[in-house]
């Protein structure tokens, strides 16, 4: 996979021929459940794994106990999100379990003359670095560096007092690559008990670079924000005589259809403030939310794979996820009636006592619904007929709106086929069940046909002329459903 490649298929196929094995990793920072954008990595590497008989692991890069402090619940939340998408990692690592390994490699690097301890303040060093000048610590002898690094590992420095830098090229034309920090001191204990005693933590470029080699990663995909990482890590790989994996950088993903910014910290704050109910609030652009809305993980995965791996930023249209999902569920989803903000109209003219529309128009063998009609129905306000207008109540028959009453005319379906009578959905005013439909833009109240009150939790329905929804639960006074899409 060469940088700039935009053809996942042809590229990966070519790569598969060059390597015995395709080994990839997904390296999340466990700071919360995943938002929609996070699905891209597992979608792509998971699909490649299946396609080329490869391998992938999840490696939690949790090496900053302070600024990017890991959330203990996020480790499992992320694995659940992964499962929802339909993938199981071949192996799971936590960087915070592997500190000793990083220390060993740091020692090795020091002995090779590839690193030095430095007590410059960030500001001081930055100034020197920007003018291409080495700091006085760069020429320390190996013995001193080794002993100072051991003191770092032993926790004998405070945060900010000492770092270990990789000796790269202080005059490199790209300032981003000059003598970068490999280890620093952090006073705050890691939230994981197993790692809480460590104070000397590796930076991403060191940790990730070492791990990618040790784990045998052959292909790395990462964001353009890390486009200098490979060049930085190359210095370490050169010291150790390692070959760097193939790298692809891709741009950021934006998702339309949401008011809420797709950012873990933003969503987290909104939940904190009570603006959102939780990570699975239908208004949140998270995987937990899509799951609760009844969207199949596969629909998301397919949409993500279609985005490819271009280095430019891309917009994911939720409509493409919805289109994929509709394709997946339409055939097996039963139809039901739901009337939002219903307006009650009395019936006259002795209509049938019960309506029996099919559960699915393309599958009559699945049977019919039983909807008692009663003396009055609810219609959506947009569907209200004009005076003397005829409408066809779906599954029931033709009615004419006369003197504030819907009078049954007993006409047959030909009036619809002739095209001058609109077909609309309805529910009985007396026996319908209250429904709260939770949507991306907020909750909507409605009434559904009686059988909806007995549907299993987790069942998907299509409310005719409204859209798909997942039955979430039945509370005392209402059924709660999550709107999937139209």
Residues 239-258 that bind RNA (CB under 7 A): 249, 251-252
Taking contact as CB under 7 A, which single stretch among the options 134-142, 213-221, 240-248, 323-331 is the one that binds RNA? 323-331
Assess 307 for contact with RNA (CB under 7 A): yes
Assess 361 for contact with RNA (CB under 7 A): yes
Taking contact as CB under 7 A, which single stretch among the options 15-23, 33-41, 61-69, 276-284 is the one that binds RNA? 61-69
**Residue number, 170 or 277, with CB nearest to RNA:** 170
Question: 204-215 and 229-240 are packed helices; what angle lies between their axes, rounded to 10 degrees?
Answer: 60
Total binding residues toward RNA, as defined by CB under 7 A: 89
Assess 62 for contact with RNA (CB under 7 A): yes
- Positions in 178-237 near RNA (CB under 7 A): 178, 180-181, 184-186, 201, 203-204, 224-228
Taking contact as CB under 7 A, which single stretch among the options 106-114, 319-327, 450-458, 475-483 is the one that binds RNA? 319-327
CA angle 460, 465, 469 (to 5 degrees): 20
For residues 108 and 18, give the distance between their C-alpha atoms in angstroms, rounded to a whole number. 31
Exposure letters 307-332 (e unless 16+ CB within 10 A, then b)? bebbbeebebebebbbebbbeebeee
**Residue number, 330 or 475, with CB nearest to RNA:** 330
Q: Which two tokens stand for residue 247?
A: 């790298």
* C-alpha torsion 168→171→173→174, nearest 10: 50
Assess 354 for contact with RNA (CB under 7 A): no
Minimum Å distance from CB 176 to RNA? 3
Assess 449 for contact with RNA (CB under 7 A): no
Minimum Å distance from CB 344 to RNA? 19
Among 50, 194, 269, 330, indicate the residue that binds RNA (CB under 7 A): 330
Taking contact as CB under 7 A, which single stretch among the options 79-87, 309-317, 448-456, 473-481 is the one that binds RNA? 309-317
Residue 209 three-state SS: helix
Assess 399 for contact with RNA (CB under 7 A): no
Q: Which of 35, 58, 34, 36 is nearest to 45 (CA)?
A: 58
Cβ-contact 440, 352 below 8 angstroms: no
Strand stretches in 14-168, DSSP E? 23-26, 55-60, 91-94, 115-118, 163-166
Place of tokens 């104070």: 199
Q: Which two tokens stand for residue 56?
A: 């992938």
Minimum Å distance from CB 22 to RNA? 18
C-alpha distances in Å from residue 403, one per residue of 346, 376, 386, 388, 407: 10, 14, 11, 8, 9
For residues 3 and 245, give the distance between their C-alpha atoms in angstroms, rounded to a whole number. 12
- Positions in 100-119 near RNA (CB under 7 A): 119
Q: Judging by DSSP bridges, how do beta strands 479-485 and 467-474 pair with one another?
A: antiparallel
Taking contact as CB under 7 A, which single stretch among the options 32-40, 44-52, 75-83, 176-184 is the one that binds RNA? 176-184
Among 317, 328, 430, 444, indicate the residue that binds RNA (CB under 7 A): 317
Assess 147 for contact with RNA (CB under 7 A): no
Among 17, 18, 67, 386, indicate the residue that binds RNA (CB under 7 A): 67
Cβ-contact 3, 27 below 8 angstroms: no
Assess 395 for contact with RNA (CB under 7 A): yes
| Residue-by-residue DSSP string for 298-347 | HHHHHHHHHHTT-SS-EEE-HHHHHHHHHHHHGGGPEEE-EEET-EEEEE
Assess 120 for contact with RNA (CB under 7 A): yes
Taking contact as CB under 7 A, which single stretch among the options 50-58, 141-149, 168-176, 259-267 is the one that binds RNA? 168-176
Assess 464 for contact with RNA (CB under 7 A): yes
For residues 328 and 325, give the distance between their C-alpha atoms in angstroms, rounded to a whole number. 5
Assess 420 for contact with RNA (CB under 7 A): no
Assess 367 for contact with RNA (CB under 7 A): no
Minimum Å distance from CB 77 to RNA? 16
Taking contact as CB under 7 A, which single stretch among the options 15-23, 35-43, 175-183, 260-268 is the one that binds RNA? 175-183
Q: Kindly write out the interface string for residues 6-35 of this chain, putting x where it contacts RNA by CB under 7 A and - elsewhere.
A: xxx-x----------------x-x------
Assess 68 for contact with RNA (CB under 7 A): yes
For residues 433 and 454, give the distance between their C-alpha atoms in angstroms, rounded to a whole number. 10
For residues 176 and 187, give the distance between their C-alpha atoms in angstroms, rounded to a whole number. 26
Assess 4 for contact with RNA (CB under 7 A): yes
**Residue number, 190 or 474, with CB nearest to RNA:** 190
């Amino acid at each position: 996979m060469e940088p700039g490649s935009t053809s996942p298929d042809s590229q990966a196929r070519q790569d598969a021929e060059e390597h015995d094995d395709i080994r990839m990793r997904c390296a999340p920072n466990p700071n919360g459940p995943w938002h929609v954008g996070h699905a891209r990595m597992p979608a792509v590497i998971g699909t490649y794994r299946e396609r080329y008989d490869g391998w992938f692991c999840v490696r939690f890069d949790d090496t900053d106990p302070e600024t990017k402090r890991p959330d203990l619940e996020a480790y499992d939340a992320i694995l659940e999100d992964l499962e929802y998408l339909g993938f199981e990692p071949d192996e799971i690592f936590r960087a915070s379990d592997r500190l000793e390994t990083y220390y060993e490699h740091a020692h090795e690097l020091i002995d090779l003359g590839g690193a030095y301890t430095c007590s410059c303040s960030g500001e001081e060093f930055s100034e020197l670095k920007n003018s291409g000048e080495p700091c006085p610590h760069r020429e320390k002898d190996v013995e001193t560096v080794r002993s100072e690094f051991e003191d770092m590992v032993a926790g004998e420095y405070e945060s900010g007092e000492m770092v270990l830098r990789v000796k790269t090229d202080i005059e490199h034309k790209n300032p981003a690559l000059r003598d970068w920090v490999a280890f620093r001191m952090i006073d705050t204990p890691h939230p994981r008990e197993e790692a809480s005693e460590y104070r000397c933590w590796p930076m991403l470029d060191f940790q990730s670079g070492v791990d990618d080699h040790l784990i045998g990663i052959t292909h790395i995909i990462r964001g353009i924000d890390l486009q200098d990482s490979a060049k930085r890590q190359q210095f370490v790989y050169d010291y150790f005589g390692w070959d760097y994996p193939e790298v692809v950088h891709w741009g950021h993903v934006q998702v339309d259809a949401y008011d809420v910014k797709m950012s873990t910290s933003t969503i987290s704050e909104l939940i904190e403030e009570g603006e959102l109910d939780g990570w699975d609030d239908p208004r949140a652009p998270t995987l937990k939310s899509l799951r609760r809305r009844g969207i199949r993980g596969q629909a998301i995965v397919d949409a993500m794979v279609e985005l490819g791996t271009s280095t430019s930023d891309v917009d994911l249209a939720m409509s493409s996820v919805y289109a994929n999902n509709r394709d997946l569920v339409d055939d097996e989803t039963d139809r039901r009636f739901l009337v939002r903000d219903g307006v009650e109209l009395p019936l006259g003219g002795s209509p049938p006592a019960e309506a029996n529309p099919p559960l699915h128009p393309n599958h009559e063998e699945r049977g019919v619904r039983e909807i008692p009609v009663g003396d009055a129905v609810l219609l959506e306000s947009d569907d209200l007929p004009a005076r003397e207008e005829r409408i066809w109540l779906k599954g029931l028959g033709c009615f004419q709106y006369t003197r504030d009453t819907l009078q049954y005319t007993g006409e047959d379906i030909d009036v619809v086929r002739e095209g001058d009578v609109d077909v609309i959905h309805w529910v009985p005013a007396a026996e319908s069940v209250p429904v709260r439909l939770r949507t991306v833009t907020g909750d909507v109240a409605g009434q559904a046909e009686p059988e909806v009150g007995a549907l299993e939790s987790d069942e998907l329905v299509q409310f005719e002329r409204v859209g798909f929804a997942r039955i979430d639960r039945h509370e005392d006074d209402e059924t709660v459903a999550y709107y999937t899409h139209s």
